[in-house]
């Protein structure tokens, strides 16, 4: 498990007491906060492809197969 829990104990207790509408509003605010977060991590597929291209033993055909698998799991 990660060392930094996503929810602290106090937030968890508040969530347990929320109605469906309160929970919906909480989740919408939380999602908006995630989208506004400047430290949002993204995956740069061209950079990954370039790094893989430099690994000895990975040719164009194998690289293409690897990228298809990565894109499949990212739902691209």
17-72 confidence digits (pLDDT tens) = 999 999 998 888 887 777 676 665 677 889 999 999 999 999 999 999 999 999 88
CB of 49 closer than 8 Å to CB of 63: yes
Domain match, 36 and 4 both: yes
Q: pTM of the entire structure?
A: 0.46
Decide if 25 contacts 15 (C-beta within 8 A). Answer: no
Question: What is the C-alpha separation between 38 and 30, in angstroms, rounded?
Answer: 14
- Do 61 and 31 have their domain in common? no
pLDDT at residue 62 in the model:
93
Same domain, 54 and 36: no
Do both 23 and 55 map to the same domain? no
Banded pLDDT at 2 (limits 50, 70, 90): low
Cα four-point dihedral sign 19, 22, 1, 67: positive
Answer yes or no: do 66 and 49 share one domain. yes
Query: Looking at the structure, do residues 34 and 61 belong to the same domain, yes or no?
Result: no
Provide the pLDDT for residue 41. Answer: 65
3: which DSSP letter?
Answer: S
pLDDT band at residue 5 using 50, 70 and 90 as cut-offs: low
- For the chain, how many structural domains are there in total? 2
> HSE-up of 29 (CA within 13 Å, CB side)?
6
């Amino acid at each position: 498990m990660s060392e930094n829990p996503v929810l602290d104990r106090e937030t968890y207790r508040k969530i347990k007491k929320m109605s469906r509408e309160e929970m919906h509003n909480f989740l919408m605010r939380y999602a908006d906060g995630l989208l506004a977060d400047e430290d949002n991590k993204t995956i740069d597929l061209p950079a990954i492809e370039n790094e893989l291209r430099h690994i000895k033993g990975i040719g164009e055909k194998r690289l293409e197969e690897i990228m298809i698998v990565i894109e499949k799991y990212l739902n691209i």
